[in-house]
């Protein structure tokens, strides 16, 4: 009986390992004005038609997108179809049916790949969005600079995690975040590494109006200019049983990210998790933190 139990445990562990596929990422750094951001974006290798391109890993995007300027004169774009009903960031959306590609070791087959027409963002050729991780366990190991995608989660890792129930809105994870004893719904966005949290002024007007102005940054959102401001603060942010502290509170004057229509109060990025492992259980709608 003991031998059978041991064999079963080993089999389960091996099954989890076999199902797991790894995506290694590297941090990109850049300057905004005179401010250097060491961890501005997570870059992952995207391979299609036997060629590898740099993409951003961005769970704030509900779909995986390619930027057509990177793929000019490739076979990939010869069969593209324009979607007259859709646009993103002011650009028409196109799609290419039945595509096979991989993000590092994570392989995707027969996928309807979408893209932005007449769009160029320097050396980056697209974004890996939240859509391709639905019904999966996604483990982001920030210290190890790797992302694991699997159909199973190891019991050891699961036992170490502090989980909260999350929502999924337009494929994106939305987690409960407590500020000043009030629960808010914040979208977790792995593409947001500049700010600890960012919201729009209407949602936190009292906190913002009563705090000292600190600075503002002129950033670009899909090449569109956007001003993001900060006030000085000293607030505890609670996610489940985990506590984080932020000394600046970032916001936009208007709801430029269209959060309100989805019942989302703000965006939380990677800043709080740089020494931790984050588990996003898209199947059971749970968000876990290890460390």
**Residue 123 confidence (pLDDT):** 84
Under 8 Å between Cβ of 207 and 232:
no
Q: Where are the alpha helices (DSSP H) in 228-285?
A: none
Q: How far apart are CA 61 and CA 40, in angstroms?
A: 16
Strand, coil or helix: what is 240? coil
pTM of the complete model: 0.89
Structure tokens at 232: 């000085």
**Residue 223 confidence (pLDDT):** 67
**Residue 148 confidence (pLDDT):** 98
**Residue 243 confidence (pLDDT):** 96
**Residue 275 confidence (pLDDT):** 97
Please count the residues of the chain.
291
Query: Residue 139: enclosing H or E segment and its boundaries?
Result: strand 137-141
Domains, the chain: 20-141 (2.40.70.10), 156-290 (2.40.70.10)
Under 8 Å between Cβ of 107 and 47:
no
**Residue 7 confidence (pLDDT):** 36
**Three-state SS letters, the chain:** CHHHHHHHHHHHHHHHHHHCEEEECEEEEEEECCEEEEEEEEEEEEEECCEEEEEEECCCCCCCEEEHHHHCCCHHHHHCEEEEEEEECCEEEEEEEEEEEEECCEEEEEEEEEEECCCCECCECEEECHHHHCCCEEEEECCCCEEEEECCCCHHHHHHCEEEECEEECCEEEEEEEECCEEEEEEECCCCCCCCEEEEHHHHHHHHHCCCEEEEEEEEECCEEEEEEEEEEEEEEEECCEEEEEEEEEEECCCCCCCHHHCCCEEECCHHHCCCEEEEECCCCEEEEEC
Mention every residue, 6+ apart, whose C-beta is less than 8 A from residue 101.
46, 47, 48, 107, 108, 111, 113
For the chain, 291 residues long, the average pLDDT of each consecutive 10-residue run is 40 48 94 79 96 96 94 92 84 94 97 92 92 97 98 94 97 95 95 89 91 88 82 94 93 90 94 97 97 90
Under 8 Å between Cβ of 160 and 290:
yes
């Amino acid at each position: 009986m003991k031998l059978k139990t041991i064999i079963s445990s080993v089999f389960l562990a091996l099954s989890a390992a076999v199902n797991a596929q790894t995506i290694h990422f590297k941090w990109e750094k850049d300057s905004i004005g005179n401010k250097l951001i060491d961890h501005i974006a997570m870059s992952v290798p995207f391979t299609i038609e036997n060629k590898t391109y740099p993409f951003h890993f961005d769970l704030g995007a509900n779909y995986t997108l390619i930027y057509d300027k990177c793929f000019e004169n490739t076979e990939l774009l010869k069969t593209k179809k324009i979607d007259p009903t859709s646009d993103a960031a002011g650009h028409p959306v196109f799609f290419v049916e039945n595509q096979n590609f991989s993000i590092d070791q994570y392989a995707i087959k027969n996928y309807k790949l979408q893209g932005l027409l007449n769009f160029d963002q320097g050396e980056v050729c697209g974004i890996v969005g939240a859509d391709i991780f639905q019904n999966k366990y996604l483990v982001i190991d920030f210290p190890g600079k790797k992302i694991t995608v699997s159909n199973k989660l190891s019991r050891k890792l699961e036992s170490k995690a502090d989980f909260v129930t999350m929502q999924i809105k337009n494929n994106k994870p939305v987690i409960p975040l407590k500020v000043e004893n009030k629960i808010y719904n914040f979208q977790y966005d792995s593409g947001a590494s500049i700010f600890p949290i960012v919201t729009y002024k209407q949602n936190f007007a009292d906190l913002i109006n009563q705090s000292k102005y600190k600075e503002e940054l002129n950033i670009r959102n899909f090449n569109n200019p956007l001003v993001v401001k900060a006030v000085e603060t000293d607030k505890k942010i609670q996610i489940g049983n985990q506590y984080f502290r932020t000394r600046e509170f970032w916001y936009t004057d208007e709801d430029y990210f269209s959060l309100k229509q989805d019942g989302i109060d703000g965006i939380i990025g990677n800043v709080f998790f740089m020494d931790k492992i984050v588990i996003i259980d898209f199947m059971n709608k749970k968000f876990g933190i290890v460390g």
